[in-house]
Chain A
Amino acid sequence: MEQESLFNDMVIRFANVNGTGSASANEMFAKSLFKMGLPVTAKNIFPSNIQGLPTWYEVRISEKGYLGRREGIDIIVAVNPQSLEQDIKDVKSGGYLIYDNSKLLYDNYKREDINFIGIPMIEMSAQNYNSARHQQLFKNIIYVGAVACLINMDIDTIKEVITEQFKSKEKLIPPNFKALDLGINYVRENLNYPIKYCVKKSNKTDGKIIIDGNTATGLGAVYAGATMMAWYPITPSTSVASAFEKYCKKLRVDPETGKNKYAFIQAEDELAAIGMVIGANWNGARAFTATSGPGVSLMNEFIGLSYFAEIPVVLINVQRGGPSTGMPTRSQQADVISCAYASHGDTKHPMLIPSTPTECFEYTAKAFDLAERSQTLVFLLTDLDLGMNNHLTDELSWDDTQEYDRGKVLDEEMLERMTEKFGRYLDVDDDGIPYRTIPGTHPTKGAYFTRGTSRDEYAKYTEDGKVYAKNMDRLSKKWDTIKALVPSARIHSSDQSTKIGMLYYGTSFYPSTEATDMLTDHGIHITKIEIKAFPFSDNVKETIDKLDFVFVVDQNRDGQMRTLLINELNIDPHKLISVLNYDGTPITADKIFKEISSHKVLDLATQN
């Protein structure tokens, strides 16, 4: 099949068995592309299982920098016999299936419209390595070598990545090089290469790093000065905890005494995790937890306490597919409503919604300032796709002159100077945010009794309805204050005037950006509204009011962000049209494009 080469634009999917060491080989593959200067994104599609089930690793290379998932897989590297039949079906017409031809392929699996490339991976591995485990591990590097050669990757770059990967276990470098060469040489000696889809070096990754959101989040908490993390293991948030601990071990151990300037607690459950976080924050330390939807459900009672007793908390929710245990290893944005209004009674919670790992880092740090400034629980709402997958993103940066905002805390000196009676829930500054004191600050002033029951401005128990209602109204006023403290929505106006908008948040940022370009190419101009936080900044309603229709991209079944917009901003529901994806995979630009470009309201809007 002689065809023109397609440079730097492809999707390669590796079909593996989980627990066989393929993840690290695949990551080295993606990292090598990144080092060649190519915008690359990688998605791990994995089962809730330790060993033996199918897992896929999807790498997208896009010179244009589109980093969302794309439909149509150009190359599948099929290493898993269990999923082979389906993998063959999934290759785009004209694409390639790279398979292990150590065994014969069933005739009925064959397709005429794709290219089959056989590499004897198992055979080569068995001939060159002794132990079964080594045969399994190096088979992965063999296919990396073969694919690298087929798509014309720079081999030195891959070797550089391998060297880096094993710099602390140097004796593993030669056998890895050998496996890589086995793959490369097989292709060179037996096959035509490069194939139609191939790569060449570029310079599109300057100033960029490739990192997963959870690592950036954990690091953000270290930079924000969090001294305590309490958590309970749950996919997909566990790696936030691992990252926090890892960087604390590196950066927070006192060099003189060897003692830790942090506490890292694996709690007995999510209830205890958030209880500990509340206790620590009440006592003046910056503490946080990370969990996913089921954990947030369990934390609901404490979330209400945090809201009502006005205790700062940072709660990272890396969303996964719900409801119930749902799809624990797949991505969704299905906790928007359950977080916004978590717990019983009248409650509302600020949510910061990053779209990239860089924003995970920044918003985590911001969340601690916001939580302490507004004395309430702040959600950082991410998802499995953002948290667990590697993304190309801007380098992390930190302004050393920036101080932590510890909020309205009365210290010993301030209490000493105070002549009036301390009122824990007194709205002194008319912004709904009262002053708090930390236990142990002053011998005779500032002590108060914290409780989840109704109380007056001096923290004294009361069941007086008027006093209760006044306090609830103050909490509403505080909510208005918070609106000015959270990041504003980003509005990207179209070059040409338009009455159509698209609103998205979190990981929908990637495909929405790409879909906008696709729409523009088809003469459809839209204004983009990227939600960054809840409560919504004023520009959200202002922008929606100027438009006829707004497509709301939600990665859940019920259009939860749409519901929240209607509820909070009193927007005519007819104006907001859902674009949904909830099968557990990240939404694609193709899907957004198709739904918007074929929607009948486009005609209605353009008539205006």
Chain B
Amino acid sequence: MSYIKPQFHHPELKKNKVGYYKTDYEGVISTLCAGCGHDSISSAIVHACYEISLEPHRLAKLSGIGCSSKTPAYFLSNSHGFNSVHGRMPSVATGAGLANRDLIYMGISGDGDTASIGMGQFVHAVRRNINMVYIVMNNGCYGLTKGQDSATADFGSISKSGSENPYTAIDLVGLALELNAGFVGRSFSGDKSQLVPMIKAALSHPGFAFIDVISPCVTFNNNQGSTKSYSYVRDHIEATSVLDFVPFEEEIKVDYEDGTSAELELFNGSKIVLSKISSHWDPRNKILAKKYLNESKENGQILTGLFYIDTETESFHKKLNTVTTPLNKLSKNDLCPGSSKLTDINKTFM
């Protein structure tokens, strides 16, 4: 990208409690397709961190590989980031978290990165209850490799090439609940009013906080029949090459009251129904959460909201009984037993 982001603070911008402007939480300009849902999620993260007055350097952001995993470059430039290898972010986050228990860890992954190549690491991160926020930017396809179905693509959905997906989808929310994750939510990239508070809540959860964010792909969920299909665009513009052409799209946004359903049209013209859990919902009841989720699935709806939270959760460091000082702050004096102890150890081998 050749764009340079202006480092300018509008005089009316407000600093938060720790003295940072909202722009201090931004990253470099996104190279994702214009209108990509992932950018809305990045923006929600910026919002959430600014609003809870988190010092940027107290957070480390980690990701795997894929469109979603590029996004940590697009938020929190003052935080250390780690774009690791495909599907292996959970292990890197686990190690990072072990080294310094005092930082906040945010893992960003995609549906390919989590539900396929990284499934093993994902389930074990849940099982260990790593203290981190784990966001899956879920678009049901592999964007960087030109739109193949992912494991979260719904049964019967039509890919850009026109083929029907013959496999059932892996529901990461259901899986996380089944694995006893202590914080499980789902949101939609266009629903900032729900997503921002959910991220804030996740950042303050002392264990594994999982958020599945439905985030449609503007470029590869764009099959025939849509007014935004390649053929439709080709008919209306002049282009020397269509291969790399990415159509401009408006971001999808939805607003609705608690306890209601909202229909919205996706980029590919198909419809999904989002229904929020009613305000009477008790997110501490896991059995109820599973019941509601299953019911909504049966009804063809995608349920969003914070489904479950375990406030009594036991973090990984607690399980390991590690010292309160972060392991990366321990010095040689704390760690090295010294030569006199070694003399005793030698004696046990004589």
Which one of A272, A437, A451 contacts B121 once the chains associate, using CB atoms below 8 Å? A272
The reply to whether B88 and A275 contact each other, CB–CB distance below 8 Å, is yes
B329 — nearest CB in chain A belongs to which residue? A284
Q: How near does chain B come to A474, taking the closest CB pair, in angstroms?
A: 20
Decide yes or no whether A209 CB sits under 8 A from chain B: yes
A412 to B57, CA, bound (A): 12
Say whether B40 faces chain A, with CB atoms less than 8 Å apart: no
Once the chains bind, are B328 and A285 in contact (CB under 8 Å)?
yes
Residue B156 CB within 8 A of the other chain: no
Residues of B within 8 A of A264 (CB): 320
In the bound complex, CA of A527 to CA of B6 (Å)? 67
In Å, the complex CA distance between A193 and B57 comes to 77
Q: Which residues of B contact A443 (CB under 8 A)?
A: 55-57, 78
Q: Which residues of A contact B103 (CB under 8 A)?
A: 283, 439-440
Whether the Cβ atoms of A260 and B57 lie closer than 8 Å is: no
The reply on A227 being an interface residue by CB < 8 A is yes
A452 to chain B: which residues have CB within 8 Å? 83-85
- Tell which of B91, B322, B346 touches A272, judged by Cβ atoms closer than 8 Å: B91
Decide: A280 near B60, CB < 8 A? Known: A437-B80, A452-B84: no
A199 and B339 alpha carbons, distance in the complex (Å): 35
Task: Find chain B residues with CB under 8 A from A35 CB.
Answer: 350
B93: Cβ under 8 A from any A Cβ: yes
Please tell me which stretch of B94-102, B251-259, B263-271, B275-283 contacts chain A, meaning at least 4 of its Cβ atoms lie within 8 angstroms of it.
Answer: B94-102
Is B300's beta carbon under 8 Å from chain A? Answer: no
Q: Are the C-beta atoms of B57 and A276 separated by less than 8 Å?
A: no
A258 to B321, CA, bound (A): 8
Smallest CB separation, B225 vs chain A (Å): 36
Q: Are A282 and B92 in contact (CB under 8 A)?
A: yes
B339 to A400, Cβ gap below 8 A?
yes
Say yes or no: is A2 at the interface (Cβ < 8 Å to chain B). no
**B60 contacts A439, CB within 8 Å?**
yes
Bound form: Cα–Cα A321–B89 in Å = 32
Contacts of B97 in A (CB 8 A): 279
Tell me if A302 is interfacial: C-beta within 8 Å of chain B.
yes
Cross-chain contact A260 with B322 (CB below 8 angstroms): yes
When distances are taken between beta carbons in the complex, the residues of chain B under 8 Å from A301 are 85, 88
Q: Return the chain A residue nearest B31 by Cβ.
A: A461
Residue-wise, chain B 100-120 has the 8 Å CB interface mask toward A (1 for contact) of 101100000000000000001
Q: Determine if B92 and A279 form an interchain contact, defined as CB atoms under 8 angstroms apart.
A: yes
On chain B, the residues within 8 Å of A442 by CB distance are 57
Bound form: Cα–Cα A68–B83 in Å: 47
Report the separation of the CA atoms of residues A447 and B322 in the bound assembly, to the nearest whole angstrom: 27
Stretch of A123-131, A217-225, A334-342, A374-382 with 4 or more beta carbons under 8 angstroms from chain B: A217-225
The verdict on B77 contacting chain A, using a C-beta distance below 8 Å, is: yes
Decide if B92 touches A210 in the complex (CB within 8 Å): no
Q: Is B323 an interface residue (CB 8 A)?
A: yes
Contact between B322 and A259, CB atoms less than 8 A apart: yes
Verify A283–B328 contact, CB threshold 8 A: yes
Closest partner residue, chain B, to A451 (CB atom) = B83
Is B11 at the interface (CB under 8 A from chain A)? no
Please, which residues of chain B bring their CB within 8 A of the CB of A548?
Answer: none
In the complex, how many angstroms separate the beta carbon of B110 from the nearest chain A beta carbon? Answer: 16
Which residue of chain B is the closest to A222 with respect to CB atoms?
A: B337
Contacts of A397 in B (CB 8 A): 339, 342
- CB of B335 within 8 Å of the partner chain: yes
Interface with B: A138-146, A169-177, A249-257, A531-539, which one?
Answer: A249-257
Q: Is the CB of A449 within 8 A of B73?
A: yes
Q: Is B239 an interface residue (CB 8 A)?
A: no
Assess whether B57 is in contact with A444, with CB atoms less than 8 Å apart.
yes
Q: Give per-residue flags for B312-350: 1 if the beta carbon is below 8 A from chain A beta carbons, else 0.
A: 000000001111100110101011111101100110011
A222 to B88, CA, bound (A): 27
A280 CA to B342 CA, complexed, in Å: 27
CB pair B339 A227 closer than 8 Å: no
Tell whether, in the assembled complex, residue A450 and residue B88 are in contact, meaning their CB atoms are under 8 Å apart.
Answer: no
Confirm or deny: B124 has a beta carbon within 8 angstroms of a beta carbon on chain A.
yes
Known: A228-B327, A439-B100. A260 touches B320 (CB 8 A): yes
In the complex, whether A230 has a CB less than 8 A from a CB of chain B is: yes
Contact indicator B81/A280 (Cβ below 8 Å): no
Chain B nearest CB from A450 CB (Å) reads 4
B279 to chain A minimum Cβ distance, whole angstroms, is 38
Q: Does B21 contact A (CB under 8 A)?
A: no
Whether A265 contacts B94 by the Cβ 8 Å rule is yes
Given the complex, which residues of A lie within 8 Å of B60, measured CB to CB? 283, 439-440
Find out whether the CB atom of A277 lies under 8 angstroms from the CB atom of B95. yes
> Is B9 part of the binding interface, using a Cβ–Cβ cutoff of 8 Å?
no
**Interface pair B327/A275, CB less than 8 Å apart:** no
Do A282 and B57 touch across chains, with their CB atoms under 8 A apart? no
Q: Name the distance in Å between A281's Cβ and chain B's nearest Cβ.
A: 8
Judge whether A276 and B346 touch: CB under 8 Å: no
A285 to B330, CA, bound (A): 9
Known contacts A275-B91, A276-B95: does B102 contact A257 (CB below 8 Å)? no
Contacts of A261 in B (CB 8 A): 322-323, 327, 330, 334-335
Chain A: CB-nearest residue to B70: A461
**Distance (Å) between the CB of A498 and the closest chain B CB?**
38
Is B345 a contact partner of A272 (Cβ separation < 8 A)? no
| A305 pairs with B330, CB closer than 8 A | no
Given known pairs A279-B93, A397-B342, A443-B55, the reply for A211 and B349 (CB within 8 Å) is yes
> Inside 8 A of A278's CB, which chain B residues have their CB?
84, 91-92, 95
Assembly CA distance A448 to B323 (angstroms): 28
| Residue B79 CB within 8 A of the other chain | yes
A268 within 8 A of B: yes
Asked if B140 is at the interface of the complex by the 8 Å CB criterion, the answer is: no
By beta carbon, the residue of chain A nearest B76 is A447
Decide if B58 is an interface residue (CB 8 Å cutoff). yes
On whether the beta carbons of A272 and B328 are closer than 8 Å, the reply is no
- Taking CB atoms and an 8 Å cut-off, the chain B residues in 40-96 that contact chain A are 55-58, 60, 62, 72-73, 77-85, 88, 90-96
Closest to B82 in A: A450
Verify if A109 is at the interface (C-beta below 8 Å from B). Answer: no
A208, A224, A259, A284: which contacts B100 (Cβ < 8 A)? A284
Q: Can you list 24 A-B pairs with a CB-CB distance of less than 8 A?
A: A209-B350, A227-B99, A227-B327, A228-B98, A228-B327, A252-B335, A254-B323, A257-B324, A261-B327, A261-B335, A267-B124, A279-B82, A279-B91, A281-B95, A285-B100, A305-B84, A396-B342, A397-B342, A398-B336, A437-B80, A438-B328, A447-B77, A447-B78, A447-B79
In the A-B complex, the 4 residue pairs with the smallest Cβ-Cβ separation, listed nearest first, are A279-B95, A275-B91, A285-B99, A276-B95
Seed contacts A252-B337, A283-B100; 14 additional CB < 8 Å A-B pairs: A225-B330, A227-B99, A259-B323, A263-B320, A268-B124, A272-B124, A276-B92, A282-B82, A283-B99, A301-B88, A439-B100, A440-B58, A442-B57, A452-B85
Binding site for B on A (CB under 8 A): 34-35, 208-211, 219, 222-225, 227-228, 230, 247, 251-252, 254, 257-265, 267-269, 271-285, 287, 301-302, 305, 395-400, 403-404, 437-444, 447-453, 460-461
Which B residues fall within an 8 A CB radius of A? 28, 55-58, 60, 62, 72-73, 77-85, 88, 90-100, 102-103, 120-121, 124, 320-324, 327-328, 330, 332, 334-339, 341-342, 345-346, 349-350
